[in-house]
Amino acid sequence: MITKLRKLSKAILEVFGARPHELGLSTSSAVIGGIITEVVIEKVEDIGVLIGLMVKIGLQEVLDKHIPKHWKQRDLSWGWTIVIWLAYVIRCGDHRKLSMESYVAEMQNTLSEITGQEINPKDFADDRLGKALQYLSKKYWKKIEKELDEKTIKVYDLKARIVRLDGTGVTGNHQTVPEGLIQFGHTKEGSIKPQFKIMMAGLDPLGMPLATEVVSGEKADDGLYIPIIKLVDENLDKKGLMYVGDCKMSAFETRAYIVDQENHYLS
């Protein structure tokens, strides 16, 4: 019986241990006396590629540099926590905090091998991810965004010439509170609904985000262009950019500001 178990164990190791990447799997095993006592198989898919790309542009380092570390916090840094969470959101299309802990429990070995960190599902508990979102607020985000822009453009040797600006409203069945983010405002469909607004600047032709502003829903689009342009100018520190936007960017004050900063516009 022992001989048969050893032969079976050897066959399993040859199939899953020699070519796991060809099967899209990650494997780990415990072997005692030539007999496999435990085999863990995890479906890797493209999670390693996503994490690798974020590490290449320096996202984990930038996050750890700007987000403060409390002496009582768990061992896994905020940078690695957010990078792994983002990889999950992109891969699975699920931004819910509550589903992350169970996912990590099923991918613990793979994530540890990819990151070189000791991964524990409790690192991705709902309350800890909520704390991570608080750290990504404006207090820290502007510095993170600025350094990330610099690193990304340097790594990929991107030629920053054309910047496209666009804003949108995000509506929903939300309760509004005074001074809150969700406020009644005019939507693009002409109705008035509870919403918040997002203004984004992207590098053409890649569409790579350069800066993002999130504001309350009652604000008019016209007044959102100059603040986002200021962010891009600070992040890129470059003259002669071409800003492209819709007709709402044609406000005289906006166009005058762009020209005053030695840049160009098209709307």
Do 45 and 25 contact (CB within 8 A), yes or no?
no
Q: Tell whether 167 and 93 lie within a shared domain.
A: no
Q: Tell whether 6 and 96 lie within a shared domain.
A: no
Number of structural domains found in the chain: 3
Provide the residue range defining the domain that includes 128.
47-135
pLDDT score at 259: 93
Which segments within 180-253 are labelled E, that is strand? 183-186, 192-203, 208-216, 242-244
Q: Tell whether 116 and 173 lie within a shared domain.
A: no
Q: Tell whether 30 and 88 lie within a shared domain.
A: no
Q: Tell whether 131 and 164 lie within a shared domain.
A: no
pLDDT score at 193: 84
Q: Tell whether 36 and 69 lie within a shared domain.
A: no
pLDDT score at 200: 92
In a domain, 142, yes or no: no
d(CA 149, CA 174): 33
Q: Tell whether 53 and 117 lie within a shared domain.
A: yes
pLDDT score at 18: 44
Interaxial angle between packed helices 47-56 and 59-66, expressed in degrees from 0 to 180 and rounded to the nearest 10: 60
pLDDT score at 35: 52
pLDDT score at 7: 57
In a domain, 91, yes or no: yes
Q: For residue 177, which of 149, 216, 128, 137 has the smallest C-alpha distance?
A: 216
In a domain, 165, yes or no: yes
- Per-residue pLDDT in tens (0 to 9) along the chain, 267 residues: 545 555 555 554 554 454 444 444 455 555 455 555 566 666 777 888 899 989 988 899 999 999 887 767 778 899 999 999 999 999 888 888 888 999 998 888 889 888 889 999 999 999 889 888 888 876 788 888 888 888 777 655 567 689 999 988 888 787 888 888 888 888 877 788 888 899 999 988 878 888 888 888 888 888 899 999 999 998 888 888 999 998 889 999 999 999 999 999 998
Of 135, 169, 187, which residue sits at a domain end?
A: 135
Of 65, 100, 135, which residue sits at a domain end?
A: 135
